[in-house]
Amino acid sequence: MSLYLQHGYGKGRKITLLAASNAIDGVILSPADEDSNVLSRTVGEARELGLQVRVDPQTYIYSMSPKGVGRKHDSHEVRFDDLHWSQEVSAIGRQIARVGAMHDAVNPGAPKFAPTVLQTSLDDVWTSTAFQLARTSAAEWGRENTIATLAIEDTALDTWRQVDEWLDVATTLEVRGFYILVGRKDTSYPPVAWPTERLANLLRMIYVLSELNDYEVMWGYADSEGILGLAAGASAFAAGWNYSLRQFKPSKWQPSDRKGGAPPNNRFYVRKLWSPLLSTSETDNLYHSRMREQVFTQAELRFIDQKPLENLGLVDAQLQYLQNIASQARIVLGKGPTPNRLDYLGVALSNANEHLRSIEQEGIPLSARYRGRIQSLGSAIARFREAENL
């Protein structure tokens, strides 16, 4: 199992609790959410728990339109308001030096995530800047210490031709691996179904980088779809406790006039359905139906017995979600080579689809979005396998 916790504001004791239950192997920390002194302490605490620690410099927020804001970036001296696709080579060198100093200050001795920019496509005006940032980082820090970052909108995955052309260049980089972030326009949770071709192309990208070219690959802000990335060859994926830490969305950092908002609805992740159901208007109905034994695992039933759904708190729901997808990840990785993992996922997703169909026939109210997402995941795996002869 290789699930990393995608860190954000308000961690409380979540890192400690997840490490104690062996749900996570590492944590990706955020210099936008904690100042230098606090982040250094968080790194030390995570390392003492036996976790791998990575730090995402999040420089891509300064290439967004409108520009994003990293609340604590000034503390780390990694605020790059002047980042631009036409900047001079000397500017890239200065940015990398500052990011390197940030890594050394808060997470000394660990591999470094290279700074990058947000690309709307894989051949837009920012593409050469992204490659320059990765190459220069590797030249300064060394191959084994450098993880290139790719931050893209999901529209960049529309055609395999463009992805393949990007891979021709990416696979020449002398780096340890890649940290991949994919932004999607829909910001509701759970998000709408992936377009099949885009997700299939992302899985192919991961497979080519990892299985065919021996790079480490990590898919950040991935939600449960990250498990498909593991099956395709990724070494890890990352998900967080908040819904905003399970999706990569530029609006998280961009200024907004919106004030506050309603608290999120608690959800209960049902492993056999691959879905985070609303705890008190969906999960409870299913729990009290005649399908209970079919759709809930024994561990989930024990959890509900100990913590009734009407008493499920936000932290309880967050930990239940992360522990459950960690369990799924362990099962997938235990299946062996890539074809075996994909075989298992194909069956698991088909079963989830059948369970959701049966629930619908029973008249138990659930959002139609869950089944659409499951069908999309299954179709993307089939398309990926066909394209790569797996």
Cβ atoms of 99 and 107 closer than 8 Å: no
pLDDT given at position 343: 98
- Assess contact for 161 and 120: CB atoms under 8 A: no
Residue 78, SS3 per DSSP: coil
Residue 260 is predicted with a pLDDT of 57
pLDDT band at 286 (very low <50, low <70, confident <90, very high): very high
Rounded Cα gap, residues 31 and 107, in angstroms: 11
Look at residue 256 in the predicted model and tell me its pLDDT.
Answer: 73
Tell me, what's the pLDDT at 261?
59
pLDDT surpassing 60 at residue 271: yes
Q: Rounded mean pLDDT of 310-331?
A: 94
The mean per-residue pLDDT over the stretch 336-350 comes to 97
The answer to whether 105 touches 40, Cβ cutoff 8 Å, is yes
Q: Residue 339: what are its φ and ψ, rounded to 5°?
A: -60, -40
Confidence of residue 157 (pLDDT cuts 50, 70, 90): very high
pLDDT computed for residue 187 by the predictor: 75
**pLDDT grade for 1, boundaries at 50, 70 and 90:** low
262 pLDDT higher than 90: no
Rounded Cα distance between 139 and 123, Å, is: 23
Answer whether residue 259 shows pLDDT above 70.
Answer: no
Beta strand 267-270 with 275-278 is: antiparallel
Residue 3's SS3 state is strand
Average pLDDT (149-154) is: 97
List, in order, residues 6 or more apart from 384 with CB less than 8 Å away.
200, 203, 204, 207, 232, 342, 390
Query: Looking at the predicted structure, is the pLDDT value of residue 182 above 80?
Result: yes
What's the mean pLDDT when you consider all of the chain? 94
Q: Percent of the chain beyond pLDDT 90? A: 85
Lowest mean pLDDT among 63-67, 95-99, 257-261, 345-349: 257-261
- List the beta bridge partners of residue 151: 118, 181
